[in-house]
Amino acid sequence: MADPYSILGVARSATEKDVKSAYRKLAKELHPDRNADNPKAAERFSEVTRAYDLLSDKDKRAQFDRGEIDIDGNPTMGFGYGGPGGGPGGGFGGAGQRGFRADGFEGFSGEGIDLGDIFDGLFGGRGGMGGGGPQGRPRAAPKGATVQYKLGVSLPDAAHLATQRITLADGKTIDLKLPAGVEDGTQMRLSGRGEPGPGGNGDALVTIQVHPHPFFRRDGDNLRLDLPISLDEAVGGAKVKVPTAEGPVMLTVAPGSSSGKTLRLKGKGFTRKDGSRGDQLVTLEVQLPESDEDLARRLEGWRDSRNLRARLGV
């Protein structure tokens, strides 16, 4: 069974950095664009790429080390490298090797098998893939790398899914519709909006960051708001203007309303994944003036006969 470590010239204890460094050196030396009249170089390029394809994948590398798969990712009889006897053994034919991973989610533009990173600037742009897969099957050209973005969204916009405008790395501006059920950390994948590559553009991955709001706060699918009202509005009742995620509405405050009373505005909360919406919960806060001689004069001699603290046992 072919040994990817020997093909790349690294020890079995080599780190990911060592593996990538060895591949970069060999791939630049053997790339078909540099060896148009040397078919052996093209075969060797395909071989080292196949080895790197396996060793750069932690799971596949571990399976190979345990003797479970061969260099093409096909299952073995259990007598491969790391298996009983420790020597090479024959692998089954069958499924061909998988294609290259051309994107990832570390940093700004992916850390998988980023061939653009390896060949950029060497051949006047992003390098193409030469060679073929097992049994002469052609290897799929890799797509460009994934580009990551962070998009800040206000709490009200997140609640009613307001369209957001975002400028991409290529300078193009697009309108982005937020998905139902959006929350802080939600990720949206935009197909074909990443970096260009031989096999087509990669994707863009947009992470939503929902900003705190000065007076709205989220409570599950509901939106909460504390609403200050005056004493006369609380005593006599009133129609007051209340802010919502989509603009102000009028709310009826019943006569005799106390601080802490919560009123409900149906369907003014967050949009759920099924398209329905939570509510906006408005908690009244009766605010007295700090010093009002007229109010004090009007209340002179009046006492509330109720024992408001009876339930507290005092």
Handedness of CA 187, 189, 190, 194 (dihedral sign): positive
Q: What is the CA radius of gyration of the chain?
A: 33
User: What is the CATH classification number for the domain harbouring 60?
Assistant: 1.10.287.110
Say what the alpha-carbon torsion angle 214, 217, 223, 229 is, to the nearest 10 degrees. -50
State which residues form the domain around 13: 4-136
* Letter string b/e over residues 281-312, b meaning 16 or more CB atoms within 10 A of that residue's CB: bbebebeeeeeeeeeeeeeeeeeeeeeeeeee
Write down the pLDDT at residue 139. Answer: 65
For residues 270 and 184, membership in a common domain is answered with: no
For residues 198 and 153, membership in a common domain is answered with: yes
Write down the pLDDT at residue 77. Answer: 60
11-29 pLDDT per residue, tens: 999 999 999 999 888 988 8
The SS3 of residue 152 is strand
84-101 pLDDT per residue, tens: 334 433 333 333 333 333
Higher pLDDT, 213 or 76: 213
For residues 284 and 183, membership in a common domain is answered with: no
Higher pLDDT, 148 or 198: 148
* Spatial CA neighbour of 6 closest among 81, 89, 115, 94: 81
Residue 79 has pLDDT above 70, yes or no: no
For residues 273 and 173, membership in a common domain is answered with: no
Number of domains comprising the chain: 3
For residues 152 and 82, membership in a common domain is answered with: no
Residue 298 lies in a domain: no
Residue 280 lies in a domain: yes
* Spatial CA neighbour of 121 closest among 7, 31, 8: 31
- The share of the chain scoring above pLDDT 90, in percent, equals 47
Residue 303 lies in a domain: no
Other CB atoms within 10 Å distance of the CB of residue 279:
18
Q: Find the largest Cα–Cα distance for the chain.
A: 108
For residues 154 and 108, membership in a common domain is answered with: no
* Spatial CA neighbour of 299 closest among 310, 288, 308: 288
Residue 112 has pLDDT above 50, yes or no: no
For residues 40 and 69, membership in a common domain is answered with: yes
CB 94 within 8 A of CB 111: no
253-306 pLDDT per residue, tens: 999 999 999 999 999 999 999 999 999 999 999 998 888 888 888 888 888 787
User: What is the CATH classification number for the domain harbouring 228?
Assistant: 2.60.260.20
Write down the pLDDT at residue 290. Answer: 84
Q: What is the mean pLDDT of residues 55-76?
A: 86
